[in-house]
Amino acid sequence: MTGAEERAGGRESRRYLLLVVTAGESSRRAGETALWLAEELGLDLRITAVTSPHVLQGPLDQLLKPSTAERGPVAPVPLPTTARTKEVIRVHETADQVLARARELGITATFKPVKRTGDAWSGILAEAEEGCAMIVMGRGDDEGDFFWRVAVEVARRSRVPVLLVP
């Protein structure tokens, strides 16, 4: 039995592809690429998102729409009042779209956001635990912007292959 099998309780741990979602258009293209790769390679898909320090927990449609009898009460979500609100919502919309498409394709997918604090690249690399086959992420839409710098640092420091989608 290998070390990975022992840590997984005797089961072989499932390999996965890590998709990093940001607010940019390149992130939407990265989502499409990650879905294709996961389907072709038979990998699970783990999605993480880099947003402002504000992170939405739970399905976006339940958080941004009023509660209903079917959904039950919805807790209020504290969002910033600046442009970061739009960024947070765009990131979560992209993640929700990828999750929905993964379900349609029969790909096992999970979503866990990472708060943007300090060096976001270290949070992303922490998500690329044992079993991660590859990281897929948009390279950012403008050279020198926050997400571009994060993508470069992830590519430089990762121990697994990183695909930066333009």
pLDDT in tens, 126-154: 888 888 999 999 887 666 677 788 888 89
Superfamily of domain 16-165: HUPs (3.40.50.620)
As given in the structure block, the two tokens for residue 30 are 């990265």
93 or 8, which is more confident: 93
Is the CA virtual torsion 160, 100, 23, 87 positive or negative? negative
**Statement: residue 101 has pLDDT above 90:** yes
Residues 74-78 have a mean pLDDT of: 50
Q: How many CB atoms lie within 10 A of CB 133?
A: 16
As given in the structure block, the two tokens for residue 120 are 């976001």
Instruction: Determine the Cα–Cα distance for residues 93 and 65; give it in Å rounded to an integer.
Output: 13
pLDDT in tens, 51-75: 654 444 454 444 444 444 444 444 4
pLDDT in tens, 11-66: 345 799 999 988 778 888 999 999 999 999 999 999 988 765 444 445 444 444 44
